[in-house]
Structure 1
């Protein structure tokens, strides 16, 4: 069956390749030739462009519309100049506007691209895959991003030091940029030849125009840049920056009687250092000592009843910058050999002591130091090396006699990640590799942790026919070592479940002290040219693959085949600006050969002429088997499922815009269902202030939600029940910008999820076609609830004795997190943060409504507060 599906996918790709429309003609590359500033000439960055020194180079213009009317003359013309001296690149831009009073000047914080703006993109590596982006709005708001993957990834965490100013006059608006060569990366040559693109947003018409013309269906972004020449004898500038910081922090919280660890407040003073050292102009060493991330937003609320770990995005600046170099997404979803949230994670140990009266358990592991060596050479080598050490973490314990002690809950741990890629075939292809290592200094009480874990991988991508077609793939391997307890726990974890009672290809071996696994992906597709896009491939994860020490792996033991095709409608009509429709299909198997899942999905998107939009989709899942639902029990069959979704929204340019969405999923026999209601809105009543709200309400009933496992007369009982789960969360953000460098931001999110269980049952035939054959409901005579313990007592054989108990699974989880941050960049690269954070986590009454629990547990509870003052100063040496 698997071989047949692979043949079908390959045949689909070949047939679409043959019958798709003919490839478009390549657009000739434009060239801008700059000149050096005359000796002694200076340019003041004030946005006026009135200095005589600008006359050394001529104006360049003739921009072309990219979106929506690709290839046409723009509504408003644009022209620019570029010059340079020994240390800086200077760019001047004139954005003409026939109605200057209507230029949109929305204030925002850095990297928020609102209103009219101009963007400069430079590919100083000239590798046609990576670039540096510098953006300034008509209001003077600065933005900068590192571009990778030929435009598929834009990293806004890159914050170089550069200078810009804008001015509005009777002709429109002007912008000046002064970019230090130390912030760009290039090799030593007599003449630098760089990729160049300028991109203007004309806000009123929502029109994008480019200096280098580019088709909407192009296979990438950086590869389509024009050429910048005339940069002679520039000496590479080695970057050397040191940024010390100091932090004052006060925590307040409800005090607990007699608990010395919760007396109502804590104060700490802390300091650390970040540094950026240019080893060469191409390669940079980043260092951090005792980093502090107190100004970073809290994670959103989440709860997972399926037992799997929850993936949270990285928010810490040190790990975000140059993240693209270290990424190794080898499969689908969030599976990655490097997941930086493992570094500084919550301690995994715990205190087991009946005499322990009070325990102060640390929330996160302390990062003693980290170093990151990264960059790309002129010969096409992309290099990354990250080393980090987290310290021993201790829980403080006070026993009933008043004696205090410390107990280790997280050991000294070393993390190492190495990444390399090499371009070849005129930058159209690359090969690469990655290696990771995690080593822990384990004492006896933490022997349940793995002592060491290693992973590695090889990847490649080959593009041809002007990058329109590609073949990419990777191979990964892992090897973990530890005590017999640690490796047994790994085998039994939900990622692996070697104890599955009906699995012939895996079993738990309690004598093992290591596991070795593999995984990978192979994909073929069309990425650009014409109106068709398609791909197909296969992914696998072997049963023993384990990456969760410094990577992220949700589930092993899977083989997945997939294929997709999309039709793009890129030429505007009187009805829409752009649209697309697509079909996707995938099937999954495990390594025993079980055919577990098949899914067919349709998706469509349309952006109307008035810039409103609609997105819709539907899917059919005729076969859904799972190896994980019963947590080590037999393979489980869900009833077949159909789902659909519909989202639509208004013009995002408007000062008030919104999105409404609805998701509906229904399984046969009412096995389970999902209804999700989504509302999002953004409101900017005046240029300096913006407010956004994102709310979701979800109902997720399920007649066979897993509860627990028991034993009856030597037979395993896998117990499920009908759950009525309801979840509500709202994320609120506002931003008030006094000027482009001084802003106040607020983030707050209440989250509540409530689940009540009824109709308890046990599994008798987990793969039966009909739901009533899969489970057997307990009768009223078999199940009762204890008034003393609250547990459910099961008398399955009705002999008057309790055969087993089920703990009451009802829950109501409530969480609130908020940050109020004042950020002032008082000089480029140096900042002051004033932060007030609030939070509360609790458990409500499952019998109450969501609204009442929200009121009691969030509005009616005293909250934990953190007040923080952080100051940094960036020395450029």
Structure 2
């Protein structure tokens, strides 16, 4: 409590000190007045900007530098014009460059922002929070993003628009046509939109803006200038239908006797995506039988702590506009909505018995029968999101070896059967927010529901799960200061077995032996909990940033049916102060330094953790950068380490990190760094080393290679729990843990619409155990009093199991399997993508995969040779074609 009060006092002092600092002088908003082209012919999108229509409006220039030297004239100036008709918005840019040979015309896939580029942002709602962003590179690459919450850019938004660029004697030009159907705006006769334009001048890594912005703005959209002259615009209802067809062939090594692994599988499929404008403000997205075969595989990862590993959503339908449904509780990825729960790997199991010669085939993913997403923002400030999805009932198929199903024309009974492994499930998410107080504040809510049609042996799943919450944010003093909060609840319902499993899961651990505030109740059929977060801070103006906040997750909170929750029973506080230096000097372009303090308790009041951290970042004048930090953790208690046993104490820890990078604009750039952590008494250590290369041999090709190696030795790695004389025995071991991974990406672009991309990642994880021990006093400050090592006459390895005679009476008291293991994985993807017309694509994909185990006594070289190079890979060949109808 003393440390918490100290952190509160420090931030309060900073708050009082900095509150007196006035925000930088208010910058006058610029206005650009556009005109309708009327009866004049529409501009042809060819990059020339010589059509007669462009003569209707004046150029607007006087761009001002934003980075690195805010508020000064840029190296090269930029001009902009904007026109419109009843169907389109037209934008023309002229980007002066004294020596056109220095224009960087790198190619890349959509949304890669290569080389020199120019960008326009349109706040067509004029709500100071949301915007549509369109970026044109000098090479003709298109990038587009939807901006939410004032500065949250989402590149998953992919509208249809048209671009042409051209290099001239003294400049390069970009001509853009944006169909109004791709934007959202009101029905007002005379409209005002927010407007901003940004230019990247590659040679100096410089950003200049049409609307001047202070060095540390409290947001992005709220600082825009204004676009006037939009008279009589009629909202366009969007109607797009995109069917797809798919052919897929999987090949793999045949498994003798296994009827499901005969060497190859093939499938042909089709589906449909649609985007329907219900009103100009609100859009309905539909998908029927979606396929995500062109999506990259997840990176390799192993978690020895038992918790689920969080992977980012990559599927296009769920990625697009995902920010609308975001509802974070604080503390990592915890969220009321985690879209990867939809279509997850089946959670059930079959009764296949390998001893009887039975084989099983369980789908890798649950079929998504269909999904609909209704989202948008109304003219009066209501943000609306509604998602509905239904996944199919999935079965595991069981066969008795590879004998035929029919002999002499008669069926062979008892050779195969199906068992349900995932029920039909309905998912619902509703999200609502309302702006008010001149758009300086908002309040919102969310509700989620998961309902399963349980049958068969699936009673261990929740029949229903609900969660909801309220969130708000209030900004004041020109958005310099803010306060925000999140409050949530959850309720899950199911059989007594299902709710008991939830109580005993690693997320909750109600069975903890030393917990007086929770206990397992095997008669419960529901569980309800709460969570939330509150934070206050300074986000703009001056050179200081700080915040003070905390979050909680009650022991009963459960979100993992449609959300993500790593650990409940957690109450944390934090305070953060940062000083930014945005005025360039003789040795840096930008820099920032700061510190943070955080503490953690559980709901019984146990003081579990405190951490002090300092950090900094420097971008030097040569565009090299330095990212560094260090922390001290004098107190570390973990409730989950012993998987239901008492709280476990780790020794105090110190860690530091340092990363250095060269100029990322260069043809060859490098990032190298390390993370180093050490606990006292050699309780544990962590060493991670990273070396990354990016190489651009020609404008059309980029190559990146990222290699990481880590060691994580520990004297006390959890192995398992056994029983000794009727008492639980928590067995630990010293572990020599090593991880090696390399990620290779090669991108080759024939033009902005035709690209070839290769991704490959070998991943190796080794865990070698020794010096087994058991817990005697889990919270002792001295490690030697916390554990007791087995003597050589107490433990021995016999046929893959360690046998323990703890009391040395000549009989085995308990045993456990040898925990040593090596996990080897290789994933690769070769994707040819052709956007043959805007919005319509062809994908040709070749994927490879290897998953194997190895010997911990081998070095990485031997493992790579035996488990990767000499293994037969699984292959997937996929051809997918889509066509987007604009109706």
Indicate the TM-score class for this superposition, using the shorter chain for normalisation: over 0.9
Q: Deviations over 1:309-354 (max 9, x none)?
A: 0000000000001100001012220000000000000001111233
Alpha-carbon distance in 2 for matches of 1:826, 1:302: 36
Partner of 1:284: 283
TM alignment of 1:700-715, pairs within 5 A: 700-715=712-727
Q: How does 1:294-313 map to 2 (within 5 A)?
A: 294-313=293-312
Q: Is 2:765 the counterpart of 1:764?
A: no
TM-score (norm 1): 0.99
The match for 2:446 among 423, 426, 434 is 434
Is 1:876 aligned to residue 874 of structure 2? Answer: no
1:262 is matched with 261
Aligned to 1:84: 84
State yes or no: 1:233 paired with 2:243: no
Aligned to 1:794: 804
The yes-or-no answer on 1:102 pairing with 2:112 is no
Q: Which runs of 5+ in 2 are unaligned?
A: 404-413
**Which residue is equivalent to 1:855?**
865
Paired residues in the alignment total: 872
Name the SS of the counterpart of 1:445 in structure 2: coil
Q: Does 1:804 align with 2:814?
A: yes
Equivalence for 1:15: 13
Which of 648, 653, 656 aligns to 1:636? It is 648
Name the counterpart of 2:847: 837
DSSP-derived class of the 2:474 partner: strand
Equivalence map 1:631-710=2 (5 Å): 631-710=643-722
How many Å apart are 1:13 and its aligned residue?
A: 2.8
**SS of equivalent to 2:534:** strand
Q: Deviations over 1:445-465 (max 9, x none)?
A: 011111110000000000000
CA distance in 2: counterparts of 1:266 and 1:845, whole angstroms:
31
Q: How far 1:148 sits from its partner (Å)?
A: 1.1
Bigger CA drift: 378-387 or 844-853? Answer: 844-853
Look up the SS of the partner of 2:255 in the other structure.
Answer: coil
The alpha-carbon deviation at position 588 of structure 1 amounts to 0.4
1:593 aligns with 2:594: no
Q: How does 1:735-774 map to 2 (within 5 A)?
A: 735-774=747-786
Residue 816 (structure 1) aligned with residue 815 (structure 2)? no
State the partner residue of 1:371.
Answer: 372
Asked if the contact 1:619/1:642 (under 8 Å) is kept, the reply is yes
Match of 1:734 in 2: 746
SS at match of 1:867: strand
Aligned partners of 2:456, 2:494: CA distance in 1, in Å?
A: 12
Q: 1:827 aligns with which of 837, 856, 859?
A: 837
Instruction: Measure the CA separation in 2 of the matches of 1:855 and 1:172.
Output: 53
Q: Partner of 1:392 in structure 2?
A: 393
Q: Alpha-carbon deviation of 1:594? A: 0.4
Pairing partner for 2:731 from 699, 713, 719: 719
* Equivalent residue, structure 2, for 1:321: 320
Q: Tell me, in whole angstroms, the C-alpha distance in 1 between the residues paired with 2:370 and 2:735.
A: 46
Paired with 1:7 and 1:57, the residues of 2 have a C-alpha distance of 60
Calculate the aligned-residue CA RMSD, in Å: 0.9
8 Å contact kept, 1:537–1:563: yes
Q: Is the 8 A contact 1:737 1:743 kept in 2?
A: yes
What residue is the counterpart of 1:60 in the other structure?
60
The residue matched to 2:336 in structure 1 has which SS? Answer: coil
> How far apart, in 1, do the equivalents of 2:301 and 2:31 lie?
51
**By how many angstroms is 1:399 displaced?**
2.4
Aligned equivalents of 2:658, 2:259: Cα separation in 1: 53
Alignment-derived partner of residue 496 in structure 1: 508
- Structure 2 SS opposite 1:660: strand
Give how far 1:847 is off. 1.6
CA distance, structure 1, for counterparts of residue 830 and residue 312 of structure 2: 20
- Report deviation, 1:12: 2.5
Secondary structure of the 1:223 match is helix
Partner SS, residue 24 of structure 2: coil
User: Could you report, residue by residue, the CA deviation over 1:754-792 in whole angstroms, capped at 9, with x for unpaired residues?
Assistant: 001000001000000100000000000000111xx3100
Corresponding residue number in structure 1 for 2:407: none
CA distance in 1, matches of 2:10, 2:550: 14
Equivalent position SS for 1:182: helix
Q: 1:754 touches 1:850 (CA, 8 Å); kept in 2?
A: no
Aligned counterparts of 2:165 and 2:548: Cα–Cα separation in 1:
47
The Cα shift of 1:40 comes to: 4.2
State the distance in 2 between where 1:855 and 1:235 align.
Answer: 65
1:75 to partner: Cα distance: 0.7
Contact persistence 1:106–1:115 (CA under 8 A): yes
* Cα shift at 1:7: 3.9
**Once the two structures are superposed, what CA deviation does each residue of 1:126-174 show, in whole Å capped at 9, x if it has no partner?**
11011010001110111101111211x2111100000010000101100
Partner of 1:469: 481
Kept in 1: contact 2:40–2:52 (CA 8 A): no
State how far apart, in whole Å, the 1-side matches of 2:793 and 2:877 are: 56
Which sits farther off after the overlay, 461-470 or 259-268?
Answer: 259-268
| Contact 1:13/1:525, CA 8 A, preserved across alignment | no
Shift of 1:17: 2.3
- Deviations along 1:669-708, one digit per CA (max 9) or x if unpaired, are 0000000000111100000000011111000001000000
Tell me if the contact between 1:5 and 1:561 (Cα under 8 Å) persists in the aligned partners: no
Please list every run of at least 4 consecutive aligned residues from structure 1 whose deviation after the TM superposition is greater than 6 angstroms. Answer: none
Shift of 1:45: 0.1
Other-structure match for 2:191: 192
Contact 1:218 1:528 in 2 (8 A): yes
Q: Distance in 2 between matches of 1:859 and 1:337?
A: 42
Contact 1:699–1:726, Cα closer than 8 Å, also in 2: yes
Displacement of 1:188: 0.3
Task: Provide, for residues 404-430 of structure 1, a one-character-per-residue CA deviation record: whole Å limited to 9, x for no partner.
Answer: 111111110110000000000000100
Contact kept? 1:124, 1:195, Cα under 8 Å? yes
Q: Distance in 2 between matches of 1:188 and 1:114?
A: 37
Whole-angstrom distance in 1 between the partners of 2:127 and 2:310: 33
User: Offset at 1:356?
Assistant: 5.6
Q: Give the match for residue 383 of structure 1.
A: 384
After superposing the two structures, state which structure 1 stretch, 353-362 or 172-181, moved more.
Answer: 353-362
Partner residue in 1 for 2:406: none
In 2, Cα distance between equivalents of 1:544 and 1:18: 38
How far did 1:545 drift? 0.2
